[in-house]
Amino acid sequence: MKRSYFLLLLFGFASFSMCNQVIEALKTRKFDLLAGKKIMVTCNKAPYDDVPSFGLGDAFLFLRFVVDYLETECKSHVVLVPPKALCRFFSLCSDIPVVEPGNPLYDECISVECRDLLQHIPDIQKFESKKRFLGKNCIWANAQVQKIVSHLKKRNIIPVLITRQSNYYKLKSKSEENIFGYLNNRSISRQELADIVQGVSEQVRVYNIQFEDQKLPDIAGVQKPTVIYPEYDNYMGAFVQDAILMKAVLQAGGYVVSVETAAGHLACGVVDVCDTRKNIIMLLGKQYSCRWKSPFLNEDGSVTWSANTKLIIQEKAGDWTDVGKKLRASFN
């Protein structure tokens, strides 16, 4: 028993030491020290201090950046342990190898937290990741994409996918309220969503992809995504069908609109590398997280994470009226 405990401690110290070596090599830009190393990216800690945990949106937004950086700049061999809910998504929709406990690779790699990589890769906000979800290897998914694109172009419409924010984060203390309070001030009701898109041109068609709204017989003011993609309700894993639909809508000249949720971050990962249109629109409450602040903004106000992203920010907390006006103007 004592011997097993000692070996466990020894293994833990060794893993910690190897992780530190990776971080030090990144900080000092001695990338040659990481060439050929097997690195496993995990995501158990919040990516930044003003975020309470590592969410699904963080996985879509940040993981492709850190993996691409390690592969292209450091010539490392990288595998990924995504959030449990997204294991199937990353296995089906990305070219990043996914591992889980029990896989031989799990014990062979140097484990490093995504948060530590984000904090110690020099100027990561300036790194342009070429990794995209639903790449060339996802033949089955891209066949669906082209089928939807063809359908949309025949209808001669501008498709808009939109998702609202309805989650409530239970704040544990006054200090948490000061840091994470913005999480509970960005919700949009179904009626507010309908009001926001009311008055768009006749050519624009809006489809609500909010998960819980799909269970309702009718969604106020907008349509369900099954109108343009009947297979949308065939569950294949969290966000798999969303990624297919998003890529098709963007290729067909449409937009993805999201209230600072995983949907917007996912859209940034499916849009084509050569596409620079402002076709992903993030609606932000008056208070919002550091993802959309300096140093992740260029001098012209564009977002370093994605050239396609446009930010529309509340002028008055809790009031989406002006946001709606600016959003409608983006389509007309």
Q: What is the mean pLDDT of residues 244-265?
A: 95
- In the structure encoding, which two tokens stand for residue 111, read together? 């484990």
Average pLDDT along the chain: 91
pLDDT value at residue 12: 43
Query: What is the model's pLDDT at position 9?
Result: 36
CA–centroid distance for 160 within its chain: 18
pLDDT for 13 equals 42
The domain defined by 139-331 folds into Rossmann fold (3.40.50)
Query: Given this model, what pLDDT does residue 10 score?
Result: 38
Mean pLDDT of 304-325: 94
Tokens describing residue 327: 């959003």
Q: Which pLDDT tens digit goes with each residue over 98-144?
A: 998 778 888 889 999 999 999 999 899 999 999 999 998 899 999 99
How many CB atoms within 10 Å of residue 95?
15
Q: When comparing pLDDT for 167 and 114, which is higher?
A: 114
Q: What is the 3 state secondary structure string of the chain?
A: CHHHHHHHHHHHHHHHHHHHHHHHHHHCCCHHHHCCCEEEEECCCCCCCCCCCCCHHHHHHHHHHHHHHHHHCCCCEEEECCCHHHHHHHHHHCCCCECCCCCHHHHHCEEEEHHHHHHHCCCHHHCCCCCCCCCCCCHHHHHHHHHHHHHHHHHCCEEEEEECCCCCCCCCCHHHHHHHHHHHCCCCCHHHHHHHHCCCCCCEEEEECCHHHHHCCCCCCCECHHHCCHHHHCCCCCCHHHHHHHHHHHHCCCEEEECCCHHHHHHHHHCCCCCCCCCEEEEECCCCCHHHCCCCECCCCCECCCCCEEEEECCECCECHHHHHHHHHHHC
Residues 6+ apart with CB under 8 A from 156: 203
- The least confident of 62-76, 77-91, 166-180, 264-278 is 166-180
pLDDT at residue number 288: 92
C-beta of residue 160 within 8 angstroms of C-beta of residue 208: no
pLDDT of residue 6: 39
CB of 216 within 8 A of CB of 196?
no
Q: Which residue has the higher pLDDT, 174 or 322?
A: 322
Half-sphere exposure for 280 (CA within 13 Å, toward CB): 25
Residue with tokens 């050569």: 274
Query: At residue 53, does pLDDT exceed 60?
Result: yes
Asked whether residue 32 carries a pLDDT value surpassing 90, the answer given is yes
Residue 2 has pLDDT above 90, yes or no: no
pLDDT of residue 104: 81
| pLDDT at residue number 181 | 87
pLDDT category at 218 given cuts 50, 70, 90 is confident
| pLDDT top residue among 35 and 298 | 35
Which strands sit side by side in the sheet containing 309-313, from one edge to the other? 204-208, 158-163, 255-258, 280-284, 309-313
| CA distance linking residue 30 with residue 183, whole number of Å | 38
* Orientation of helix 321-331 relative to helix 190-197, angle to 10°: 50
The predicted pLDDT at position 232 comes to 96
- CA distances to 106, 112, 204, 260 from 252, rounded to whole Å, are 40, 39, 12, 23
Q: Report domain extents, the chain.
A: 2-126, 139-331
The arithmetic mean of pLDDT across residues 154-159, rounded, is 95
The reply to whether the predicted model has a pTM over 0.95 is: no
**pLDDT, average across residues 38-62:** 95
Distance CA 5, CA 9 (A): 6
Tokens of 27: 């900080």
How much is the pLDDT for 34? 97
**For the ranges 14-23, 207-216, 296-305, which has the lowest average pLDDT?**
14-23
Q: What is the pLDDT of residues 4-23, one digit of tens each?
A: 443 333 344 456 688 999 99
Instruction: State yes or no: pLDDT of 171 exceeds 90.
Output: no
More confident residue, 285 or 219: 285
Q: Which CA distances in Å does 234 have to 85, 115, 137, 165? A: 17, 34, 21, 23
Query: Tell me, what's the pLDDT at 15?
Result: 60
Instruction: Average the pLDDT over 91-99 and give the result.
Output: 94
pLDDT at 219: 82
Lowest mean pLDDT among 46-50, 100-104, 237-241, 259-263: 100-104
pLDDT given at position 11: 41
242 is written with which tokens?
């969303």
Please report the pLDDT score of residue 115 as a whole number: 97
